[in-house]
Amino acid sequence: MSLIVQKYGGTSVGTPERIRAVARRVARYKSLGHQVVVVVSAMSGETNRLIGLAKEIMEEPDPRELDVMVSTGEQVSIGMTALALIDLGIKAKSYTGSQVKILTDDAHTKARILKIDHNNIQDDLDKGYVVVVAGFQGVDEKGNITTLGRGGSDTTGVALAAALKADECQIYTDVDGIYTTDPRVVPEAKKLDSITFEEMLEMASLGSKVLQIRSVEFAGKYKVKLRVLSSFEEEGDGTLITSSESKRPAFLYVFSVCACCSGFGAQNSTSTSGLVSSLHITILLLSAMLLSFICLEIRQ
């Protein structure tokens, strides 16, 4: 039996039917004997809607009150997900960030997690419950609701996995893994079976938006095994992100980063200056690729 944390993004819980599909997936893992903690984002578009409402009242919303507003999106999602699981005959219980409690600093709209009290979650898991936790949010020492910034649900999932010493943290999104570049831009892009935290951080810093960069840093620090999977596909192993030494030669990794940047440049090269900029990036990174290859040969 394994303890697995599964995080589902906004598109994965975007409609009641998508939430029911998430519940069926979780139920399958539960039927195999696994303990499962589910972290969910707000339904797709909901956070933007709530921010828009706040701005209709105040052009530059007060950060504390904005956190109070936008955190309600995840509260709806956890309730609906727990209901979908209960409807399948699965014991489930939902928790907001403050109920867990996920303690953060007081930097509203961009808070950082300081500590997680996982005792209640562990007790529920031991009693056979699936625990559904609101991503993106926490609470400071004074009891104020805080949010972790865009993509913060990834960080919530990783932090819970670290606190619970989970066997794996699975990040479900609308892609089936990490690719060498955006497959929607470059059809020849290849899906990676595995990648190291360091490589993932580099790709994230260069524009990859599959994972929030802070969640990757957190996973690397606490050695949380991450796996990126598609919530829209039933089969597939996705991409595993670990601290293990990459089996791919360094020059192949740098080539992947070059492809990533070239694809990014192609998306944004709507003018001559954009094309020149994209060419400069590619030349610089090809030089880095050559240097990495030389270093690899010297090391061997």
Helix (H) or strand (E) holding 8: strand 3-8
Q: Is 169 left (phi over 0), alpha (psi -120 to 50) or beta?
A: beta
**Confidence at residue 151, expressed as pLDDT on a 0 to 100 scale:** 85
Q: pLDDT tens-digit profile of 18-36?
A: 999 999 999 999 999 999 9
Structure confidence at residue 204 (pLDDT): 66
Identify which of 23, 5, 43 has the alpha carbon closest to the alpha carbon of residue 157: 5
pTM: 0.79
**Terminal CA-to-CA distance of the chain, rounded, Å?**
41
Task: Provide the 3-class DSSP secondary structure of residue 214.
Answer: helix
CA–CA gap between residue 160 and residue 118 (Å, rounded): 8
What are the tens digits of pLDDT across the range 143-161? Answer: 999 999 988 999 999 999 9
pLDDT at residue 243 in the model: 81
- Contact of 270 with 289, CB cutoff 8 Å: no
Give the chain's mean pLDDT: 84
CB 131, CB 26: distance < 8 Å: no
Q: Name the token pair of 203.
A: 């790709």
Contacts of 13 (CB under 8 A, 6+ apart): 19, 22, 40, 41, 42, 43, 44, 77, 80, 81
Q: What is the DSSP string of 250-300?
A: HHHHHHHHHHHHHHHHHHH--SHHHHHHHHHHHHHHHHHHHHHHHHHHHH-
Q: Is 200 helix (H, G, I), strand (E, B) or coil?
A: helix
Helix axes 250-268, 197-205, angle to 10 degrees: 20
Structure tokens at 29: 């893992």
- pLDDT reading at 208 higher than 70: no
Half-sphere exposure for 37 (CA within 13 Å, toward CB): 32
Give 173 or 213, the one with higher predicted confidence: 173
| Rounded mean pLDDT, 62-87 | 98
Tell me the residue type at 246: S
| C-alpha–C-alpha distance, residues 209 and 223, integer Å | 21
Residue 241 has pLDDT above 50, yes or no: yes
| pLDDT at residue 181, as a whole number | 76
| Number of helical (H) and strand (E) elements in the chain, helices listed first | 11, 14
Higher pLDDT, 136 or 221: 136
pLDDT tens digits for 266-296?
Answer: 444 444 454 445 555 555 555 555 544 444 4
The H-or-E segment that residue 133 falls in is strand 130-134
